[in-house]
Amino acid sequence: MLMRTQRAADMVSGALLAGLGLLSLVASLNIAGVTGEHLHPRTLPYLLSLVIFVTGLALLLSGWRYRGEAKIIDWPGREGWKRILISLASIVVYLLLLEPLGFTLSSFLLLVFLTWYLGRYHIIFIILLGLATAVVIYFLFIQFLGLTFPVGPLGW
């Protein structure tokens, strides 16, 4: 795997950070400003981008020069990556459904799916749990605290 050791990871993240620094350096230069200001709106972003560019390079370099014992990063195994990616994907789907389906319904779906996926409990138990949570959240946050969440076609 690409960033198996801390050294490799430092070099990769250093390079990425230097790139990010460069990108925001260019973006900072494009910040318009008013003359006569003691601190131009672009000055701080410019300086910070420079710091990120330089420190990114330094990280890359220090990884390059590192000759000590290889430190293995505690990345998840194949199964772990699958769990993370599927969890992330379900969160993304949840966020995309939040507005069209409404907060309560989409939250119920997320709870049911994720709890089932991570825990493989009995489906009836999971549905009851999801239902209970969704109802509590609906009454606590929407009815009691009066937060305005997206409502779906059914009004909740």
Max intra-chain CA distance, the chain: 68
Which is nearer to other proteins, 101 or 107 (by Cβ)?
107
Interaction of residue 146 with other proteins, rule CB under 8 A = yes
Look up residue 75 and give its two tokens: 């990345």
Interaction of residue 41 with other proteins, rule CB under 8 A = yes
Question: Distance from CA of residue 111 to its chain's centroid?
Answer: 19
Other Cβ atoms closer than 10 A to 67: 6
Interaction of residue 128 with other proteins, rule CB under 8 A = no
CA torsion angle 48 49 55 60 (round to 10) = 160
Task: Report helix, strand and coil shares of the chain as percent, to nearest 5.
Answer: 70, 0, 30
**C-alpha closest to that of 3 among 75, 88, 76:** 75
Q: How many residues touch other proteins (CB under 8 A)?
A: 70
Q: Which of 80, 89, 100, 143 binds other proteins (CB under 8 A)?
A: 80
Smallest separation, CB 154 to other proteins (Å)? 19
Chain residues in the site for other proteins (CB under 8 A):
3, 6-7, 9-10, 13, 17, 24, 27-28, 31-34, 37-39, 41-42, 44-45, 48-49, 51-52, 55-56, 58-59, 62-63, 66, 68, 71, 73-76, 79-81, 83-84, 87-88, 91-92, 94-95, 98-99, 107, 110-111, 114-115, 118-121, 129, 133, 137, 141, 145-150
